[in-house]
Structure 1
Amino acid sequence: MSSYHASSLPLDLLRNVLSRLPTISLLKLRSVCREWRDVIDDPHFAATHATCDFESPRILPLPGPSRSAERWFEVDDEFLGARASCNGLLCFDDLCDGTIYLLNPLTGEIVSLPSCIDPSRERRHPHRIGIGVDRLSGRYKIVRLSCSVDRTVRPTRARVLDQGSRSWRDIASVPPGLLLGGPVFAAGSIHWEAAGEGGLIRISSFDIAKEEFAWTPRPELRDAHLVDLRGALGLVDRSRQERVDVWAMEEGRQWVKRYSVRLNSPWPVDSHWFLTVLGCGGRKIVLKYLENLLLYDPAADKLECVQRSGDAPAGQASSITVSLLSPAKLWNADKVLP
């Protein structure tokens, strides 16, 4: 019987086979041989795999920015939470000096990117940060919005950092409304909730390719928040006591109601103010109520608690799909932490 050699596979066939495997499996297969590692670590392969992967998200509790790896994060087996995220990358900034950090929590690779603030003038001023990828060019961009200091979060200046660049540049477009909550990247744009008339939620979207802000059509909802539905933009309606409706924006910017989560016993929700949808894990929906994590199965119409108060991650949370993208290779930067 002839022996098998990894290098005997044609390169195109090897890429095709590896592209069909889950991210966690690829992480282990990197150690098989140099050829496999080179294919898996190739930025184009990793980026393509990140946009096609359908694994469940995971949770990442983040108490706040820190320069220590141990204090930055702890990876759980289910979901991830982050300040801003895109294709498995988490983006943070240092509140003291404005340094941007880009992290892949699966591989533990983290790099520092240039600050875009003057510490003597903008330190601790309100701001918003987002990360996304141009669907045409495949290149990543980070946008940072400087905001007014009159107790509102109204952006006054917008700057962009291109993939691989070491310098920020100003752009003319600035969102016109009062931004609320964290960003969600979907359909080629970074989206923020914005205050509308009569308490209605509006959606302010930054088109990565055009580098312009514009309003995105949405259902007329008041008590709602944005969420990433495995690559699609979602909107969670919390206005009803007995259920939570999850809307999704489809092609042509049309909104459809995709899920209705019934909030029945044994996990009744007394105040929707403390209820958020973190995202979709496989075919299930993950919610956070106070410090409890709830899992809803639409097929069985069943809601169960998967993590109780005291064990749940602190702070804000959102969902993200794991990937093998290398922050250092994307930005041609040195690793900050192993």
Structure 2
Amino acid sequence: MDDSIMDGLPTDAFVEILLRLPPSARRRSRLVCRRWRDVVDARTPEGQSRRAKALVFFLNRSGHSPEPRCSAHVFDDLSPPSSSGREIWNSSTGTAAELAMVGCCNGVIALWEEGTGRLTLVNPSTGETLAIPPPPRLPPKRRRRRTPLVVSCLSFGYHPITGKYKIVHLPADDAMAAASSSSWCSPLDVVEVFTLGDVGVGNGATWREVAAPPGSSCHVRLGVVSLDGAAYWVAADNAVMSFDLEHERVAAVEAPLPAMPLGTWLGALAVVGGRLGVAVMGCADSYPTTTIVEVWVLEGGRSGDEEEQRTWARRYSIQGLAPGWQRMVWPYFCHGEHVLTTDVRTRRRSAHAHRLHRLRDGSRLALAHLATADTAAAAPMYDVQAFPYVGTTEPLGEYAVSDASGLSRYPYKNMLLSLFLE
């Protein structure tokens, strides 16, 4: 790259200007040209995803506990002895509402409130919050239910090109899914989407419906994950569906999930090493009292100007889990060379980090217990969740007020250009 990003402006000076802008404006400046995009990716925190740390979210369902009902902890290093997490956020002590974490993008946490169905965005670095109305197709009775099914149908995503945050809701009928013989597979006719900062009725952002292809469905319990500008879920016949956050289209992924061997079952969708993954659960032949988790990832896709065929490949095998009480922490259980599990035998939940290592034959990966991070919480499996986290000072206020004029979709971009002209 040349020493100057444009005539008369050295690259270092350009970087200094970028660092003075809000993070959202820095990401949007990638749209100007390829050279700007390269600088943003190489010289700003947003372009360095490898710096993401493990965030573990706990929900304490004990109404008599003096501890916060919900708390988020970040682990700077999962290797011992520095594996103790630091709390970055918690709900106020005595809060009646129970929250579940929907997702985390660029340091912004999305939470769902049981009872009201409302969603809340939280920036732990600044303390700001932003309320989001509940999805229209989320019935009041489901808002009040103490169930993980609502959270498993929600996803919080970010598109790296447009710089827009979106919340996706699959209005699945869990009652119909439970009554069917399709392993909690529910029909799906539309996808609900909420774009932060959009202009809707009354100059406020609203939920919109996007039609799904005829015959679409979703496995309610396998979750929805957002990755690289798209949301993914599992449909009938092991098909994988995607929702493009930029063009808002529902489509099938070319590669269906791998065939499940006899005696195994799908655990959940996940993100593994920056790729879409799935956990296949089963029992070990030699040790029937332990559980094996086979982790598969979707490989291929677009790489530069080339399109590679997408196929599922087994990444590693997690062995020795005690069935019933030692479980994976979804949906981001894999963080670098570690995987996260939780122990559900006691009322005080803990997150355990295990380092992956190769078996003697070199063909598989197993886990060895190296580090334990203990934090108070009492809840079923879905009340301990994990996501990647990078702190940000991005203000949430810019998404609270929409610009109805439509004259400037990216106001900070004009501010950046004015700096060059002065």
TM-score over 0.5 for the pair: yes
Q: Say if 1:141 and 1:208, in contact at 8 Å, map to a contact too.
A: yes
> Aligned partners of 1:15, 1:53: CA distance in 2, in Å?
21
Cα displacement (A) at 1:101: 1.0
Q: Say if 1:83 and 1:92, in contact at 8 Å, map to a contact too.
A: yes
Q: Which residue is 2:56 aligned to?
A: 59
SS class of match (1:44) = helix
Which of 303, 319, 334 is 1:262 aligned to?
Answer: 319
1:281 aligns with 2:347: no
> Aligned partners of 1:260, 1:73: CA distance in 2, in Å?
30
Structure 1 segment 34-49 matched on structure 2, within 5 A: 38-39=20-21, 41-45=22-26, 49=45
Q: Say if 1:83 and 1:182, in contact at 8 Å, map to a contact too.
A: no
Structure 1: gaps spanning 5 or more residues: 1-9, 18-34, 65-69, 264-268
Q: Which amino acid aligns with 2:369?
A: E
Deviations 1:188-231 (A, max 9, x none): 2112244x45xxx5433222123233333222233332112243
Structure 2: gaps spanning 5 or more residues: 1-8, 29-40, 62-67, 77-84, 89-99, 144-148, 178-185, 199-204, 302-309, 359-365, 403-422
Deviations 1:221-242 (A, max 9, x none): 3333211224321212222426
Cα displacement (A) at 1:112: 0.9
Which of 259, 266, 271 is 1:223 aligned to?
Answer: 266
Q: Say if 1:204 and 1:214, in contact at 8 Å, map to a contact too.
A: yes
Deviations 1:309-338 (A, max 9, x none): 88467414132222316361552459xxxx
Structure 1 segment 152-301 matched on structure 2, within 5 A: 152=177, 154-165=187-198, 166-173=205-212, 175-194=216-235, 196-197=236-237, 201-216=238-253, 217=255, 218-221=257-260, 222-241=265-284, 243-252=292-301, 253-263=310-320, 269-271=321-323, 275-278=327-330, 279-290=333-344, 291=349, 293-299=351-357
1:144 aligns with 2:202: no
Which of 326, 329, 333 is 2:394 aligned to?
Answer: 326
Q: Say if 2:103 and 2:110, in contact at 8 Å, map to a contact too.
A: yes
> Aligned partners of 2:370, 2:270: CA distance in 1, in Å?
20
Closer, same or farther in 2 for the Cα pair 1:317/1:118, shift >3 Å? closer
Q: Which residue is 1:90 aligned to?
A: 109
> Aligned partners of 1:147, 1:97: CA distance in 2, in Å?
18
Q: Which amino acid aligns with 2:12?
A: L
Higher mean alpha-carbon deviation, 216-225 vs 147-156, is at 147-156
Closer, same or farther in 2 for the Cα pair 1:51/1:275, shift >3 Å? farther
Higher mean alpha-carbon deviation, 50-59 vs 302-311, is at 302-311
Q: Say if 2:103 and 2:157, in contact at 8 Å, map to a contact too.
A: no
Closer, same or farther in 2 for the Cα pair 1:15/1:122, shift >3 Å? farther
Deviations 1:226-271 (A, max 9, x none): 11224321212222426432222222232222223332xxxxx231
Q: Say if 1:62 and 1:73, in contact at 8 Å, map to a contact too.
A: yes
> Aligned partners of 1:306, 1:113: CA distance in 2, in Å?
37
Q: Say if 1:94 and 1:100, in contact at 8 Å, map to a contact too.
A: yes
**Percent identity of paired positions between Structure 1 and Structure 2:** 20
| Number of equivalent positions | 293
TM-score (norm 2): 0.58
> Aligned partners of 1:330, 1:231: CA distance in 2, in Å?
28
Question: Which has the higher Rg, Structure 1 or Structure 2?
Answer: 2
> Aligned partners of 1:326, 1:286: CA distance in 2, in Å?
28
Q: Say if 2:357 and 2:368, in contact at 8 Å, map to a contact too.
A: no
Deviations 1:69-116 (A, max 9, x none): x54424243579832333433222334443321123344332112344
> Aligned partners of 1:297, 1:118: CA distance in 2, in Å?
42
Q: Which residue is 2:416 aligned to?
A: none
Q: Which residue is 1:22 aligned to?
A: none
1:105 aligns with 2:124: yes
> Aligned partners of 1:36, 1:328: CA distance in 2, in Å?
19
SS class of match (1:45) = helix
Q: Which amino acid aligns with 2:223?
A: G
SS class of match (1:323) = coil
The root-mean-square deviation of aligned C-alpha atoms, in Å, is 3.8
**Segments of 4+ in structure 1 off by > 6 A?**
none
SS class of match (1:82) = strand
Closer, same or farther in 2 for the Cα pair 1:202/1:94, shift >3 Å? same
Q: Say if 2:170 and 2:188, in contact at 8 Å, map to a contact too.
A: yes
> Aligned partners of 2:26, 2:324: CA distance in 1, in Å?
41
Q: Which amino acid aligns with 1:245?
A: E
> Aligned partners of 1:258, 1:16: CA distance in 2, in Å?
38
